[in-house]
């Protein structure tokens, strides 16, 4: 047997030539769930050549790490050497070393794992190990990120204890943690920074600050009045409280109150969420001067986001400075996204038709088809289909994402086409939308089941491109998709909604995951919410995701530009959902050669409630 190099200094165990069958893989997964390491060890020793044969040894390594034995995990890395599972194991190993304070071992092992392969917590533990060895590291704004993974919390604690965070930064983090109810993490930081008495003594100014914030959740006006009259708090404490109460008001869409509170907030203590809601408050009021001002003083990492670049340009244009706005719009317009489309339209450019299909050469197609990670992901999808076990499909998705990392555009398009041919439409889209320069929109905006979708869209007189935009966002055309709250099928219908619609349509024997049934039910419900919400597609799209009552509640007392209404939707998931559905509809309209309404026209105007 040829000798193989050991990555972590462990002798390699002998390998046998035997591929595991489905039942053995199922047994291994169950053994992992039960903590049966003996069965895992037996199955690991039997496997070698199958595409999925690494899983028993992988699970054995993870399970024994929980009990403090890192040997099986190390042996797994040495045995398989590369791939998604090896990377996951190395991250778990490094994080385990960090939790145990094994700093020398951690720094010795870390170089085996490339920087871009490290989890956020692994990165923090490596930095903490470096700090523990008395080497300098550069603090960042993570102290305003609220509660983080354990390793990152510990890193910030260590920075505070060594004076790498100044007193104001440490106190700002403590206030943020306590306001978020991360009490254990806050107490640990307070101990490290010798601030326990200031922050946890009953009746202290910090406790009064937190009481005001708590009151603001149920009595915002009362909390603001009490804060205004409280002379016992420091400027920093008052500034923090105003920032917290401003966020509460903005999320309730009480924008005048929000802007009044933010005007008295301490910018140094605002986290990313607070900054963005300050800007949304000004935007919903169409206070363009303030919108521009906020985009210029918010942290650079936020200001550089396409959303805020676009709205900064809109603010400049609204103030009669289109020449200044144009370079910002041009830069944003290169994004193939919601904000990219809006920027194009502000420049007078519309999307006539998506780019033509990109031809991938045979050599690239063959190389991607034979790639071990691609093959492993496909084997997981096949196992999921054979066994009707969704957990294997989820694992396939994780391996597929890993397999796409650092690929060229042609390799990504080759992978997308491989997935499309196998009916893995969600994975095809995932690959196609990662390209940087060579884009194939026939893969990025797939349109399977078109005869069925077009038929029901025509019957109900709704825009087929809009329906496709919604399905793409809901399920990526995976007919067995199921959400965490129980929505199912291509159009992600909740069971109660499907039952109600089926009753309206006289469909006693429907199957929610059946392609025809799901599209029929979903398009009818989409037509229903459209009819009940002023025939306004943005409101109907928001209602489809969050419910008609919420969509109505987010309307203002006056007409709003559709893009402003969408930007100020309080639910992050729904805001992102509406933006993507409406942008998808523009691309599908181009692909279907429809008379292409602009995105801005599709967003329209939201009537007053």
Provide the annotated active-site residues.
474
d(CA 169, CA 269) in angstroms, rounded, equals 8
Q: Are 422 and 448 in contact (CB under 8 A)?
A: no
* Tokens encoding 402: 């890993």
| DSSP for residue 396 | H
| Apex 541 CA angle, 535 and 544, nearest 5 | 110
CA atoms within 13 A on the CB side of 123: 12
| Spatial distance between the Cα atoms of 453 and 471, rounded to a whole number of angstroms | 10
Cα–Cα distance, 182 to 56 (Å, whole number): 36
Short-list 117, 193, 183, CA closest to 160: 193
Over the Cα atoms of the chain, what is R_g?
27
3 state SS of 286:
coil
What is the rounded distance in angstroms from the CA atom of residue 43 to the CA atom of residue 20?
Answer: 8
Buried/exposed code over 374-383 (b: 16+ C-beta within 10 A; e: otherwise): bebbbbbbeb
In angstroms, the Cα distances linking 518 to 309, 514, 543, 545 are 39, 6, 18, 16
Spatial CB neighbours of 461, under 8 Å, sequence gap ≥ 6: 527
How many C-beta neighbours within 10 Å does residue 104 have? 11
């Amino acid at each position: 047997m040829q000798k193989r190099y050991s990555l972590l200094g462990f002798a390699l165990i002998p390998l046998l030539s035997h591929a595991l069958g489905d039942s053995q893989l199922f047994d291994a997964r169950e053994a992992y769930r039960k903590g049966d390491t003996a069965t895992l060890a037996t199955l690991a020793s039997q496997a070698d050549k199958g595409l999925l044969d690494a899983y028993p040894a992988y699970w054995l390594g993870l399970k024994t790490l929980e009990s403090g034995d890192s040997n099986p995990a190390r042996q797994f890395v040495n045995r398989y050497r590369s791939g998604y599972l090896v990377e996951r194991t190395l991250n778990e190993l490094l994080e385990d070393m960090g939790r145990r304070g094994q700093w020398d071992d951690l720094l010795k092992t870390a170089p085996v794992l490339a920087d871009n392969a490290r989890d956020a917590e692994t990165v923090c533990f490596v930095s903490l190990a470096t700090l523990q060895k008395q080497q300098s590291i550069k603090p960042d704004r993570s102290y305003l990120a609220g509660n983080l993974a354990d390793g990152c919390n510990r890193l910030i604690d260590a920075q505070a204890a060594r004076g790498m965070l100044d007193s104001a930064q440490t106190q700002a983090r403590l206030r943020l943690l306590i306001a978020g109810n991360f009490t254990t993490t806050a107490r640990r930081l307070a101990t490290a920074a010798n601030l326990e008495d200031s922050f946890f003594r009953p009746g202290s100014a910090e406790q009064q600050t937190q009481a005001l914030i708590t009151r603001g959740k149920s009595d915002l006006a009362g909390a603001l009045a009490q804060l205004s009259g409280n002379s016992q708090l420091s400027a920093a404490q008052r500034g923090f409280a105003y920032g917290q109460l401003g966020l509460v008001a903005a999320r309730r869409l009480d924008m005048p109150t929000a802007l009044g509170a933010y005007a008295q907030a301490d910018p140094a203590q605002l986290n990313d969420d607070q900054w963005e809601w300050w800007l949304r408050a000004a935007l919903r009021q169409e206070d363009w001067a303030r919108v521009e001002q906020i985009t210029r003083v918010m942290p650079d990492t936020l200001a550089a986001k396409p959303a805020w670049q676009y709205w900064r340009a809109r603010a400049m244009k609204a103030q009669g400075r289109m020449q200044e706005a144009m370079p910002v719009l041009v830069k944003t317009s290169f994004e193939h996204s919601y904000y990219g489309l809006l920027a194009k339209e502000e420049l007078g450019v519309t999307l006539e038709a998506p780019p033509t299909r990109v031809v991938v050469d045979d050599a690239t197609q063959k190389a991607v088809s034979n790639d071990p990670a691609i093959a492993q992901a496909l084997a997981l999808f096949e196992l999921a289909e054979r066994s009707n076990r969704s957990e294997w499909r989820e694992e396939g998705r994780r391996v597929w994402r890993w397999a796409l990392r650092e690929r060229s555009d042609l390799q990504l398009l080759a992978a997308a086409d491989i997935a499309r041919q196998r009916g893995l439409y969600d994975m095809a889209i995932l690959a196609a939308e990662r390209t940087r320069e060579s884009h194939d929109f026939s893969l990025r905006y797939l349109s399977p089941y078109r005869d069925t979708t077009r038929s029901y869209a025509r019957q109900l007189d709704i825009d087929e491109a809009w329906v496709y935009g919604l399905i793409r966002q809901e399920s990526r055309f995976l007919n067995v998709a199921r959400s965490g709250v129980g929505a199912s099928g291509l159009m992600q219908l909740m069971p109660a909604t499907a039952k109600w619609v089926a009753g309206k349509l006289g469909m006693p024997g429907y199957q929610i995951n059946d392609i025809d049934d799901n599209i029929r039910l979903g398009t009818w419900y989409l037509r229903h919410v459209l009819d009940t919400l002023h025939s306004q597609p943005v409101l109907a799209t928001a209602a489809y995701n969050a419910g008609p009552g919420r969509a109505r509640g987010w309307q203002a007392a006056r007409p709003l530009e559709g893009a402003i209404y969408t930007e100020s939707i309080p639910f992050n998931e729904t805001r992102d959902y509406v933006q993507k559905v409406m942008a998808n509809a523009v691309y599908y309209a181009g692909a279907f050669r429809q008379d292409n309404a602009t995105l801005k026209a599709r967003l329209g105007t939201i009537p007053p409630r």
